[in-house]
Amino acid sequence: MALSKHVNADHLIQKSHDKHATHGEFAAEQAQEATYSYGSRYGTNPVPKYRISSKGVSADAAYQIIHDELSLDGSTVLNLASFVHTWMPPQADKLVHENITKNLIDTDEYPATQIIHTRCISILADVWHAPSSKQAIGTATTGSSEAIQLGGLAMKKIWQAKRKAAGKSIHEPGPNIVMGANAQVALEKFARYFDVECRLVPISVQSKYRLDPKEAIKYVDENTIGVFVILGSTYTGHYEPVKEISDLLDEYEAKTGNSVPIHVDAASGGFIAPFAHPKLLWDFKLPRVVSINTSGHKFGLSYVGVGWVVWRDKAHLPKDLIFELHYLGSVEYSFSLNFSRPAAPIIAQYFNLLHLGFEGYREVALDDLKNARLLSRALENTGYYTVLSDVHRSVGAVGGKGIDTHDVEAYEPGLPVVAFRFSDEFQQKNPEVEQKWIQTLLRAKGWIVPNYELAPDLQQVQILRVVIRENVTEVLLDKLIADIVEITEELASKASSEHALNVLGQMHGARKKHEHKTSTFDAGEGSEASGTYARSC
């Protein structure tokens, strides 16, 4: 049992304060306050933690208090767990700061901003080969999660209209949507929040830890509103085969008469595939793809807060999802879940599109993939690790050694993501070494590298994952590789003090995952677990 289960930290601090009064109520009040050590420099009195103070502090003091507390966060540069972009050039920072007060929804007040918003949609529609980029229909969102909800809602509404036109029920048995068990939580949220049956297709090693098209088609019927296909699995970075799924749905429609559309969740791949893998068929070139979403704040290289969803044409966005708003003296049209939203991230996105152009995005994507291959090869060459992602392998390869060639077309298309685990040989030689300690000890050196289970049917397999973003340079990777090797060898060496962690882990059994103390929910208060990221709490 962990020591923290026996000791209440707040109570411990309360008892350890200097006692200026013996009254118990005053001592209890102290536990709800934070005292900062700047004394008369900022003139700060104790600040309440959980209620608003009767009198505020100076702006300088407030800044320093919050600045110091946030220093406990991890470094954004060393956060290799996240797909979210963390760096932009100073000129972009300046634009963001200049426009940080603008609300995108105020189209009449900020017409130039709305024009930029529309241009971004047209540019993405063109990059994704929509039939007409000038007539493209889409919207900015707060991220891919909102964009996925909108794409799914459009498919649901179209399915309902078809059912009603055919005189069929939209309630019994109701709509369903098909996706791989490797789906990111946002896809499952759509199904749960909007009353659509979620049909999760199991993954396997043979399917490359992603949706298997031949298995997916077995889950499709006349009540299927669509298939979510992921261009870049968050687990391993694999692209799901959009073209293969599209072909199978063509065959299904020829046999049954049921037309099932595809929404491509290109949260990460939407800004990688067009530039690094231009020959790959996945976008609006396939008539069955009716909508695509992406995250501008991932490989779109913008700051967090911007996603995009684009439909191939107006026919695939039902009119009853579009609201005509008479607001602030003008008529506006809205089809987003949010109303107000910051305009600055959209402006940052346009900066990138303007500044980088096609060749700039291609250079960044190819450099990221080159660094992903470097890390993949280095890990495999240690003999300690097996790499599950395939961007360093030849096209079509399933496992095995990677290749080394200057021909970028020879490599398997995928995200610049490296998913890896202990090799079978290493585990056999060191059965007491637990992979979770790699995450823990890397964090002690500043690196944030997650260790987690694969999707259902392979959840017994734990993987470590590194996302290679633009600012994860080769110099950083040199140090990361050295640290991973050092930590792995220390854990395996019985003469090392770090080897004692293995003994400690066995004594305490399976260690529960860290739960954030800031949550107001407890285990059992959420929905039933499906096996994906969306576990019940």
Burial 401-418 (b: 16+ CB within 10 A, else e): ebbeeeeeeebbbbbbbb
The per-residue pLDDT string of the chain (537 residues; one tens digit each, 9 = 90 and over) reads 344 456 777 776 777 777 655 555 555 555 577 777 776 777 767 888 889 989 998 899 899 999 999 999 999 999 999 999 999 999 999 999 999 999 998 888 899 999 999 999 999 999 999 998 777 899 999 999 999 999 999 999 999 999 999 999 999 999 999 999 999 999 999 999 999 999 999 999 999 999 999 999 999 999 999 999 999 999 999 999 999 999 999 999 999 999 999 999 999 999 999 999 999 999 999 999 999 999 999 999 999 999 999 999 999 999 888 877 666 566 566 788 888 899 999 999 999 999 999 999 999 999 999 999 999 999 999 999 999 999 999 998 878 889 999 999 999 999 999 999 999 999 999 999 999 999 999 999 999 999 999 998 899 999 999 999 999 999 999 999 999 999 999 999 987 777 677 766 554 555 556 565 665 666 666 666 665 555 443
Q: Give ranges for CATH 3.40.640.10 in the chain.
A: 95-351
- Provide the 3-class DSSP secondary structure of residue 245: helix
Whole-angstrom distance, CA of residue 317 vs CA of residue 334: 12
Cα 270 to Cα 27, 144, 168, 274, 316: the distances in Å are 56, 11, 36, 7, 20
- Provide the 3-class DSSP secondary structure of residue 66: helix
Contact 228, 187 (CB under 8 A): yes
Whole-angstrom distance, CA of residue 284 vs CA of residue 226: 15
CATH number, span 365-506: 3.90.1150.160
CATH number, span 95-351: 3.40.640.10
Contact 433, 492 (CB under 8 A): yes
Whole-angstrom distance, CA of residue 343 vs CA of residue 98: 11
Whole-angstrom distance, CA of residue 412 vs CA of residue 418: 13
Q: Tell me the backbone φ, ψ of residue 333, rounded to 5 degrees.
A: -120, 130
pTM of the model: 0.90
Number of other CB atoms surrounding residue 72 within 10 Å: 6
Q: Give ranges for CATH 3.90.1150.160 in the chain.
A: 365-506
